[in-house]
Amino acid sequence: MRSSPADRIVFDLDDTLYLERDFAFSGFAAVGHWVEARHGVPGFAAMCRALFDSPHRPAIFDEALRRTGLTDRQTVGELVGIYRDHDPRIALCPDAARYLDRRGGMFGLITDGPDRMQRNKIAALGLSRHFDQIIPTGQWGAGFGKPHPRAFQEIEAAAPDRRCVYVADNPRKDFVTPNRMGWITVQICRPGRVHLVSPPDRAHAAQRVIETFDQLDAALSAD
């Protein structure tokens, strides 16, 4: 079973098309090389990776600097800048690559995060050959990330009379707005995803749930 060619399928980016932890580990490697070159301290990237699945994740660089004794010699802000601006070494999840290649159409993308960081990811993944409408909400500044409707409204305006579909991972912010707008919403629950969260209420829940894009067409064909 396949989704209808009339569908306007729109994807999230992080933990939807690729694993966000892969970007994090790529960023840690870039930061680690910089820390070693500047301070002569090896192993910073490995320390960050070890902290990623710990309670220290929200402040990884603070904790890694503390453990390496660099707190008074290095600012977290500089490390965050290196992390965000590096050229990432990431790849599409195999099922995402299969789906995009097999279906052969053009898709939409809505993604939150700093504009340059998200555009670096988009370039690294080579998404321009599959996507004709790419919206990093960070291009508009603070306040326009999901669940703000602006990005969804732009997709709708460019796709009149088509059924819009949003495929994403985070029920805290991804689905409440497209649900309200009458879209079909699909949550992909990838092993290894960062946001292991439940929807706060029914309005935030996706209408359909899958574990791989190999299930997406069947999910969209379901009544």
- The residue ranges of DSSP E strands in the chain, in sequence order, are 8-11, 107-111, 131-136, 164-168, 184-188, 208-210
Classify residue 56 by burial, with Cβ atoms within 10 Å: 0-12, 13-18, 19+.
Answer: middle
Task: Give residue 1's pLDDT.
Answer: 38
The residues near 94 (Cβ < 8 Å, ≥ 6 apart) are none
* pLDDT tens string 16-55: 999 999 999 999 999 999 999 999 999 999 999 999 999 9
User: In the chain, what percentage of residues exceed pLDDT 70?
Assistant: 97
Name the amino acid, one letter, at 73. R
The residues near 222 (Cβ < 8 Å, ≥ 6 apart) are 208
CA distance 83 to 76: 10
CA distance 91 to 218: 25
Task: Give residue 206's pLDDT.
Answer: 98
Q: How many residues does the chain have?
A: 223
pLDDT-derived band at 3 (thresholds 50, 70, 90) equals low
**Cβ–Cβ under 8 Å, residues 169 and 195:** yes
> What is the torsional sign of CA 50, 54, 57, 60?
negative
Per-residue pLDDT for 105 more than 90?
no
Is the omega angle on the peptide bond into residue 147 within 30 degrees of 0, that is, cis?
Answer: yes
Q: Please tell me what DSSP assigns to residue 151.
A: H
**Cβ–Cβ under 8 Å, residues 3 and 217:** yes
Give the residue with greater pLDDT, 5 vs 60: 60
Angle at alpha carbon of residue 81, lines to 33 and 66, rounded to 5°: 65
* pLDDT tens string 133-154: 999 999 999 999 999 999 999 9
pLDDT-derived band at 181 (thresholds 50, 70, 90) equals very high
Task: Give residue 55's pLDDT.
Answer: 95
* pLDDT tens string 161-173: 899 999 999 999 9
Q: Is 45 helix (H, G, I), strand (E, B) or coil?
A: helix
Task: Give residue 195's pLDDT.
Answer: 86
Beta bridge partners of 134: 109
* pLDDT tens string 64-89: 999 999 999 999 999 999 999 999 99
**Cβ–Cβ under 8 Å, residues 186 and 208:** yes
